[in-house]
Structure 1
């Protein structure tokens, strides 16, 4: 790698700057991007930045992790006049985490230009946000409910806002934020620029486009990636297991695949507590993120996960919407997604910006049809695999491996042959040729009968030769009361801190196996 500031680095920086200037960005923004190590725009940025920089309404639909945030944020920053002390642009996002991610990007590239950004998100102190609005920020980024609340308090003059971006538009218009967004759009400048951004395009989003956008720009050729909303760098896998075995399957996946981090999605937030406690009991560093998580806990959980102090993050679909976690290698869907859109936004947390990733869905045997349906709807290959010997194998490979183990086990369990009997299917060394085993056993029966008769004759020679009877195995003594009390106390101490299911399991096993009496 060339040293920092060397001729090669300077050439790369100059090349990146020229690439961004070629699509319509000003020299200052192009320099900031090149200095940040970007060698050029992504395909979605190259297509979207020129029309957005000209002020056109737009429908920006692109796969997750393709660079959509900079695709709309760079033109917004370029069109803001830092000399005017008024709020000129607003970016709306469905979740607090996504809003804060956008704020960080806006501050990185906006502050050097003299552009002030304020976050207006629910769950944070309203009084502090109102105090910051006194600075008259050029750009506000927030959740629709809080932005509307601040506007109602006359602290955000919407009529001055000339640019509005609605990120994750399909999610916003499908949930409760629709009314808040429409109120903000009504209050903004009539000649405003409006941009809708999403990886998927729901029916609710199409209705909103026809109502609020004027002659919007759209990508000419969306291609296969945009059709599914997923980048091609993701490996889509599903494992079949019983419901009761899912938590153990998660444990085995993490132990064997050893990912740097993993995001675990659940459909029912009621299961988050159970999954969280059992994984922690197994020794994993894990946190949870769901819609009702308090703001401080949400930010702490995300910070620890990004810093690598927490390896696993359990999340609901709403809480993880739009999360950008650079380099996330693995997504585990504890239950199959409710529909194709939910699958896109789950799997799309990995494989971002050209990196490879893997999405693993855990299903029950009767849910295979869901995987076939998603595969058809999204035009992706969903492969069934099995976890064997610490590896993810195809069904055929797992079948061959199981068959090989069974053959090895049967051969090791074969009965040992005497030296006198010779090889299997061949007469022994001392046997007569042509004499069958049936004949040999027939000849042995009279001899055995005579030995038994001799053994039963009092004083006969057979009595001396008779083999002594095998001694009976003594029954183990019953445990004393003191030993039973000691065993119960030991079991209770061992159960401290264990989940209820493990306590019940240990209690059952202790009832089946009585404790060993003390000497």
Structure 2
């Protein structure tokens, strides 16, 4: 808080009563710095981390500048997304009603015909997206020549998204004598060019630039292989069990795949991305805010500037593309001094991104690992696993002692008993855990290598074994003697006798062998 009161800033009594009614008793630092400058009519470029109350910082002075007697549009607020525009509309309606200011939303995705009909009610403050306002201007359904105050919220994103020509067309349609204000959590280099083009005598307000991410947020990262990210996200959500969590992706192409996988795991999950229609996006946000949906998958554009009260967890399934995007993602939690947690799932090849954010943002990004239902630091993990490591070391030491020869171990019997103990140590099984996994590797002595059993024993033992083993008697017919070679005449006669009748064979034999 700033230490100042709403009266010190020059806020009307009717607005102060509404602020107190909503539990906002003191202005924040960004409100204390910007409200007096805007009430004085200066052009303002304010940079402050998300969740510090920037909406009221520009909304309260705008409402006080409006002449309720006039039916012309006197103030315009531009927003990069439909969700952020509707969020500003809800806040504006709360504080505009007590002082009689009429508010109208002009956003894409809604029926243009209905918006044109509501413009006939002569709103004095319009809030919307540049695309829809530019469309209404082209159709000559919107007149902004009487506008004297314009605010661009999340200005860096407004000028980056879509066509800059649409934003410039809206600004050109307003009167030259106007007050212009840019509000954003980040300040890219391109912003200075737009300030020089659209502002005069700009008052730059930069609060806590060294702490662009709220100090009430815990920032962690978890290392996981790319193929295991789904399982890692599931385990993290089960472990932390948040009431709600905002999950960020860099690419909309994979958002449906993530939604189906998390739904299959039993989570109540919804999607929020720029291509979905207005009604579906509004219904999704409503369910998420009410707690009917636990997980919300979103891209940077869709979730830009979203204010979800009491959001405890932001889970980045993909690391942010740069430091500014990390600031905006982290700003969805820990708003207005509340605590929050931001966890990024990174692959080993993406670790350098965490180091880059740590240096650029001054954020204490810490590595965490899941172990037995807890999210532990490296030191805590080492301490938690120390008993197990010591037990493994003792097992290895005992296995090594058992593998030593009997001669090297004093007090142990030698001879036959020693050989039996050695055989017992060889056949001993390694220690196993409860799941049957080996907790200590076998030593070479306790587990003989392949082929070791066929190795020759010592001469003494082999000689004794040879003397005790009975000799097998030699078999006479094991190897029959070689038959003498037959002569050519015998082989010829046998060839003739082959297939001849018995009497003919005997006749031939008696003829060839006379007595």
| TM > 0.5 fold call | yes
Which residue does 1:73 correspond to in 2? 59
Shift of 1:97: 0.4
Would the alpha carbon gap of residues 132 and 279 (structure 1) be closer, same or farther in structure 2, given more than 3 Å must change?
A: same
1:287 matched to which residue of 2?
270
- Equivalent residues in 2 for 1:92-491, closer than 5 Å: 92-219=78-205, 222=206, 225-408=208-391, 437-438=418-419
Question: How far apart are the structure 1 equivalents of 2:335 and 2:10?
Answer: 25
1:52 aligns with: 38
CA distance in 1 between counterparts of 2:193 and 2:233 reads 40
- Asked if the contact 1:239–1:384 (Cα under 8 Å) also holds between the matched residues in 2, the reply is yes
Distance 1:137 1:97 in 2: 20
C-alpha separation in 2, matches of 1:126 and 1:346: 31
Quote the Cα distance in structure 2 between the aligned partners of 1:350 and 1:56: 31
3-state DSSP class of the match of 1:160? Answer: coil
Deviation of 1:402 after TM superposition, in Å, equals: 3.6
Rate the CA distance shift 1:18–1:230 in 2: closer, same or farther, 3 A: closer
Measured after TM superposition, the shift of residue 59 of structure 1 is 0.4
Contact 2:15–2:98 under 8 Å retained in 1: no
Q: Name which of 7, 16, 25 aligns with 1:39.
A: 25
Q: Judging changes above 3 Å, is the alpha-carbon distance between structure 1 residues 25 and 362 closer, same or farther for their aligned structure 2 residues? A: same
Residue matched to 1:20:
6
Root-mean-square deviation (Å): 3.1
TM-score (norm 1): 0.77
CA distance in structure 2 between the partners assigned to 1:177 and 1:111 by the alignment: 34
Structure 2: how far apart are the matches of 1:203 and 1:124? 34
CA distance in 1, matches of 2:366, 2:121: 54
Cα distance in 2 between the residues matched to 1:217 and 1:439: 92
- With over 3 angstroms needed to count, the CA separation of the structure-2 counterparts of 1:426 and 1:331, relative to structure 1, is farther
Shift of 1:403: 4.4
Alpha-carbon contact 1:334-1:362 (below 8 Å) kept: yes
Q: CA deviation at 1:204?
A: 2.0
SS of corresponding position for 2:209: helix
Q: Using the TM superposition, name which of 370-379 and 104-113 deviates more.
A: 370-379
C-alpha separation between the residues in 1 aligned to 2:127 and 2:343?
33
Give per-residue Cα distances to partners, 1:2-33, cap 9 Å, x unaligned. xxxxxxxxxxxxxx999211111111111111
Following the alignment from structure 1 to structure 2, what is the Cα–Cα distance between the partners of residues 55 and 149?
29
8 Å CA contact retained: 1:17, 1:39: no
Separation in 1 of the partners of 2:19 and 2:410?
Answer: 83
Distance in 2 between residues matched to 1:236 and 1:199, nearest whole Å: 18
Alpha-carbon spacing, 1:17–1:435, altered in 2? closer, same or farther (3 Å): closer
Q: Is the Cα contact below 8 Å between 2:4 and 2:32 reproduced in 1?
A: no
> What is the DSSP-based 3-state SS (H/G/I as helix, E as strand, rest coil) of the residue aligned with 1:350?
coil
Query: More deviation in 66-75 or 43-52?
Result: 43-52
Q: Distance in 2 between matches of 1:391 and 1:44?
A: 38
Count of matched residue pairs: 433
Aligned-residue offset at 1:405: 3.1
Q: Offset of 1:396 from its aligned partner?
A: 2.8
Distance in 2 between residues matched to 1:295 and 1:330, nearest whole Å: 25
User: 1:345-388, CA deviations, whole angstroms, 9 ceiling, x for partnerless residues?
Assistant: 11111111001111111111121111111111112221112111
Paired with 1:91 and 1:439, the residues of 2 have a C-alpha distance of 91
Mapped to 2, the partners of 1:440 and 1:283 lie a distance apart of 57
Cα drift, residue 200 of structure 1: 0.3
SS in 2 for 1:22: helix
Which TM-score applies when normalising by structure 2? 0.77
Quick one: distance in 2 between partners of 1:252 and 1:190? 56
Shift in CA distance, 100/250, structure 1 to aligned 2, threshold 3 Å: same
Q: Which residue of 1 aligns with 2:71?
A: 85
Cα distance, 1:435–1:146 mapped onto 2, change above 3 Å: same
Q: 1:355 to 1:440 in 2, by over 3 A?
A: closer
Cα deviation, residue 404, structure 1: 3.3
Structure 1: gaps (5+ residues): 1-15, 419-424, 458-519
Does the residue aligned with 1:271 lie in a helix, a strand or coil?
A: helix
> What is the CA-CA distance between 1:246 and the residue it aligns to?
0.6
Give the C-alpha shift of residue 449 in structure 1: 6.2
SS of aligned partner of 1:287: strand
